[in-house]
Amino acid sequence: DAGVIQSPRHEVTEMGQEVTLRCKPISGHNSLFWYRQTMMRGLELLIYFNNNVPIDDSGMPEDRFSAKMPNASFSTLKIQPSEPRDSAVYFCASSPNQGTREQFFGPGTRLTVL
């Protein structure tokens, strides 16, 4: 199994630009999570899906952030417009089911907004 796949691994963009981060969960996993990690705030859960349906998006910082999961094998996290304070490492994780915290994390996308 290839594990959770994220792309791109690194993204550098300018303030105001749209950024789209992508994630392919482990095949057969029902839950998908998006996290953000910074030195100041640590690892924060942004949103999670169960069976492609968003369950809790209370961690999404503001309306500039949106996430979709059109099918069981793909999810996107979009930031529009991006701001320098969005610079962070964004992790996607998947889990066999919603009731467990045994999550499998991807390698992350390091986003830098100039």
- Which residues of this chain interact with other proteins, rule CB under 8 A? 4, 33, 42-43, 45, 48, 55-56, 58-59, 91, 93, 98-99, 101-108
Nearer to other proteins, 81 or 112 (CB): 112
- Write down the least CB distance from residue 112 to other proteins, Å: 15
Please check whether residue 34 is in contact with residue 75, taking contact to mean a CB–CB distance below 8 angstroms.
yes
Residue 40 one-letter amino acid? M
- Write down the least CB distance from residue 81 to other proteins, Å: 27
Nearer to other proteins, 42 or 70 (CB): 42
Cα–Cα distance between 109 and 22 in angstroms, integer?
A: 9
Question: For the chain, how many residues are written?
Answer: 114
- Write down the least CB distance from residue 90 to other proteins, Å: 10
Nearer to other proteins, 27 or 98 (CB): 98
Cα–Cα distance between 25 and 78 in angstroms, integer?
A: 17
Beta-bridge partners for 84: none
**C-alpha 76 chain-centroid distance:** 7
